Structure 1
Amino acid sequence: MLDEGVRYEALSAAMGATVRPLSDFQRNNPGKTPENLLTVEGFLIGSVLGVTSLLQWLSPVSWLTWGLSVLFFGQDKRKVINTELFVDEATFFDREFDYDFTDVSDSESFVRGDESYKRPCGWKRIALKVLDKYGDNTWLGPNGIRTYSYPGEWPVSYHGTSEDGAKGIIQSHYKVGDGQLYGRGIYSTPDLSQASGYARDFVSKTNGKTYRMVLQNRINTAQRKICKRVDYWLVPVNDGTSEEEERRIVESSIRPYGILLKEM
């Protein structure tokens, strides 16, 4: 089992902002709801497009504060403005589907969305409460451990980034291992070992251990392009796309449903 502190440190690393339990806020503000309440839908926007897009979506005032930090302190020093986000555990985490794959070694083949699914053996998964958050749940398929695919469900992909979580996982003109330069968009891979190579590590203040973090997603094949290297997948997001349209593309194309952690 993961320490509760590590759970929130992982969220903070993914978002590039301090994430705390809602109870911390309500202890000093009884009966109130914070402006920066991070929902699962907000996590999708923040983890993919970056915390600036999230803050603009949550609150124009918070977004303006963040923007002023960039203006006055510079792009590399914007973290001097301490952006806090709060999570309602009851609606954000789905602990029923947390899973410890640390000592798991699969001998069977698994399939999701009619494509091979390599389970995250050797990792621990923090499950997000995504059920009923995007209309029907066909994209996720039925619950339970199963080797077969379900009609209409989306394949699994992974994404790890060594960049500051505040920037999200959207990339411009990404050059992968084959030297081919690809366009702007959201990159992920069905191969966890590939994603791990791009993942960022963080040192826990809770227990002093070092963890590597990767996002586990489902991806819409109707909006996915397979790169020359078939283990790299791209959801194109063209330069000049409005932020509103970017959010629409993200919600309809890639959906994180788990945060994977591995002790290093």
Structure 2
Amino acid sequence: MYMDSNLKAEVLSSILGQIVKPYDKNLCKTKDNTLSVDDFHLHNLIGRQHGKQFFIDGKNFFDSAYDYDFTDLSDSAECTRGEELYQRPKGWYRMALKVKGRYPDGDAWLGTKGWRSHSVPGEWPVSYHGTSLDGVKGIIRSNYTAGGRALYGRGIYSTPDIHVAEREDYAKTFTSETTGKSYKVILQNRINPEKREICQRSDYWLIPVPKGASAAVEKQIVESSIRPYGILIKELNGNESNDDDAGLLGSILHSLYSTVQSLFR
């Protein structure tokens, strides 16, 4: 089901907030209308704007060899990536992005393919961030983009805890025209440990972005600091709305608590 090209295009549409369609050589006249992984990455994290409709060439965008089905994962073994605890996304399916060979510093940041519980030299820790474009509903901007509302500083936020990304109202939800089902979507990243800051709330990680940074500087910061390598998707069930309400309530309470604390610093 998750290999369907129309569903994948819908997932990207939900993340970017604009129409993405499977590649059609009769409709896609120029390469400028074909969404690349780089464009997707920059648009999602620092808000680069595109046209009203894009096409997705699945063979050049996704890397199915690295897809992984975590939906029925029962293994509770502790794992590390980049010498940090790796919370495997149980209950989700990963659509892997084609990122191998894409960066000039090589592929060590990705680690090695296949199951392992330990870290390998040069790899980066795993983090997650939501994709909601519905406005500010939690502690920070809902899609973790650089902005003035961030509680712990200006920059790009992610979390090592997938439950934070899922339940604090940052995950994007959409209903597929292809399957008729509803889904949640979260991005799975690797984050450069040398450029990441751990916030006062330790399950929030920050990549600082200086105020007034040019587009070129923001692009350099993003590409050298945080790199999505998979899109996680999960089918919703009838109980999800209650879970979302509980997560949102927890987010609001934490935000109020943090605000009160700041008054007495």
Instruction: Report if aligned partners of 2:131, 2:187 keep a CA contact under 8 Å in 1.
Output: no
> Considering only aligned residues, what root-mean-square deviation do their CA atoms show, in Å?
1.8
Q: SS of the residue aligned with 2:32?
A: coil
Structure 2 Cα separation of the partners of residues 237 and 228 of structure 1? 18
Report the equivalent of 1:4: 5
C-alpha spacing 1:203/1:28, structure 2 compared with 1 (3 Å): closer
Residues 146-166 of structure 1: per-residue CA shift (max 9 Å, x gap):
11101111000000133259x
Instruction: Report if aligned partners of 2:94, 2:232 keep a CA contact under 8 Å in 1.
Output: yes
* Structure 2: gaps spanning 5 or more residues: 136-141, 237-265
Report the equivalent of 1:101: 70
Verify: 1:143 aligned to 2:113, yes or no. Answer: yes
Report the equivalent of 1:156: 126
Instruction: Report if aligned partners of 1:51, 1:168 keep a CA contact under 8 Å in 2.
Output: no
Report the equivalent of 2:96: 127
* Structure 1: gaps spanning 5 or more residues: 56-61, 63-82, 176-180
Instruction: Report if aligned partners of 1:154, 1:218 keep a CA contact under 8 Å in 2.
Output: yes
Structure 2 Cα separation of the partners of residues 207 and 186 of structure 1? 33
Instruction: Report if aligned partners of 1:50, 1:169 keep a CA contact under 8 Å in 2.
Output: no
Instruction: Report if aligned partners of 2:130, 2:143 keep a CA contact under 8 Å in 1.
Output: no
Residues 63-105 of structure 1: per-residue CA shift (max 9 Å, x gap):
xxxxxxxxxxxxxxxxxxxx11122222111011111111102
Runs of at least 4 residues off by over 4 Å: none
Report the equivalent of 1:240: 212
Instruction: Report if aligned partners of 1:159, 1:187 keep a CA contact under 8 Å in 2.
Output: yes
Q: SS of the residue aligned with 1:20?
A: strand
Structure 2 Cα separation of the partners of residues 168 and 228 of structure 1? 20
Report the equivalent of 1:250: 222
Q: Report the residue type matching 1:262 in the other structure.
A: K
**Match 1:43 to one of 18, 34, 40:** 40
Structure 2 Cα separation of the partners of residues 123 and 254 of structure 1? 21
Report the equivalent of 1:78: none
What is the TM-score with the length of structure 2 in the denominator? 0.80
Instruction: Report if aligned partners of 1:15, 1:168 keep a CA contact under 8 Å in 2.
Output: no
Shift of 1:187: 0.4
Q: SS of the residue aligned with 1:246?
A: helix
Report the equivalent of 2:147: 172
Structure 1 Cα separation of the partners of residues 127 and 149 of structure 2? 17
Instruction: Report if aligned partners of 1:50, 1:168 keep a CA contact under 8 Å in 2.
Output: no
C-alpha spacing 1:169/1:142, structure 2 compared with 1 (3 Å): same
Aligned residues: 226
**Which has the higher mean CA deviation after the structures are superposed, 89-98 or 211-220?**
89-98
**Match 1:33 to one of 23, 30, 34:** 30
Question: Higher RCO, 1 or 2 (CA under 8 Å, sep at least 6)?
Answer: 1
Shift of 1:110: 0.9
Q: SS of the residue aligned with 2:163?
A: helix
